[in-house]
Structure 1
């Protein structure tokens, strides 16, 4: 017996929902790998190079050699970056879970798309401001030797957020047209 298109899509969304649970289960491993890479990379990079290259690699800040205040700032910035992705994955997982349960064109989905768009538009500004503030404080307390501020904004993330906000209005209009069409029939 062949499944309908709707049942096939719901099955696909259920599989995607399970994949999100795998992502959540793998998150502690990914965090540990990021921590390990962050704390060992500057040392191993400098050891593998010679001469002038090793001097340049020694510029890379190692959070293990920072002061207590520097480590607190560094790991707070690290946690902020991780929390951005955790919140984004959480929003997507909630939306996929709704789709798997057959609730696609409902107000919660539209609000989820809207808030994801807002989140994606605001995040690059928050990230740039907090990163530059932490870099400046680390420079002032002597944990990093050079003040290299970064003013690059992730325009792709901002564009994705604007797209999602516009998509919310398009979907809202489509739902309204569909309900008007259902009433005329």
Structure 2
């Protein structure tokens, strides 16, 4: 039993430290928004040949009103996915800290996380093409070239998490059966 108690104590510490992850995410979001509005900070940090390439990219600050709305709505929804994933992970850690490590309710959070990650991979691919096409129609970008690639690593991580949830669920069911027969 000592090992379960030490594991729960560890997750209590991680639960408290996870608030630092939220603060770091907010700071990263703040820097990301600043970089989108004024890329000169990024150009100062880059090599000369890369900085010239970045300087040739269209700036969201120079988009038309419709282009700005398209860009920032895409930007916001992608970050809502990230917030959802962080919330699910934080909730799982919070449940682990309360000793609910191998229970079905915790596995539902793992399932939501897997679906969120798979959804993010598909969403980014589809909506990014829609965003670029919309910016092309508003005249904010010079040409439209569709991107038919999927974010395969993101999809693979989501499928791996869903598979892992399925395996853990079967293991919990087997353990419950063993506990009932003893």
TM-score, L = length of structure 2: 0.88
Structure 2: 5+ residue stretches without partners: none
- C-alpha change, 1:49 and 1:123, in structure 2 (3 Å) is closer
Describe the shift of the 1:28–1:121 C-alpha distance in structure 2 as closer, same or farther (beyond 3 A): closer
Of residues 112, 115, 120, the one that matches 1:118 is: 115
Q: Which runs of 4+ in 1 moved over 6 A?
A: 48-51
Structure 1 match to 2:151: 154
Q: Deviations over 1:78-121 (max 9, x none)?
A: 10121111110000000000000001111211111112112222
Q: Deviations over 1:48-71 (max 9, x none)?
A: 9989x84x5443110111111111
Q: Give the TM-score of the pair, scaled to structure 1.
A: 0.86
For residues 41 and 153 of structure 2, the distance between their equivalents in structure 1, rounded to whole angstroms, comes to 33
Q: Secondary structure at the match of 1:168?
A: helix
The correspondence for 2:30, drawn from 27, 32, 40, is 32
1: CA distance between counterparts of 2:130 and 2:141?
A: 13
Aligned to 1:181: 178
After the TM superposition, which of the residue ranges 34-43 and 110-119 deviates more from structure 2?
Answer: 34-43
Please tell me the root mean square deviation across aligned C-alpha atoms, in Å: 2.4
- Counterparts of 1:90-109 in structure 2 under 5 Å? 90-109=87-106
Q: Kindly indicate whether the alpha-carbon contact (under 8 Å) linking 2:37 and 2:61 is maintained by their aligned counterparts in 1.
A: yes
Count of aligned positions: 180
Q: Deviations over 1:120-166 (max 9, x none)?
A: 22221111111110110101111112323322211111111112212
Cα distance in 2 between the residues matched to 1:177 and 1:26: 40
2:41, 2:31 → 1: CA distance?
16
Pick aligned residue for 2:3 from 2, 5, 13: 5
Distance 1:80 1:182, change over 3 A: same
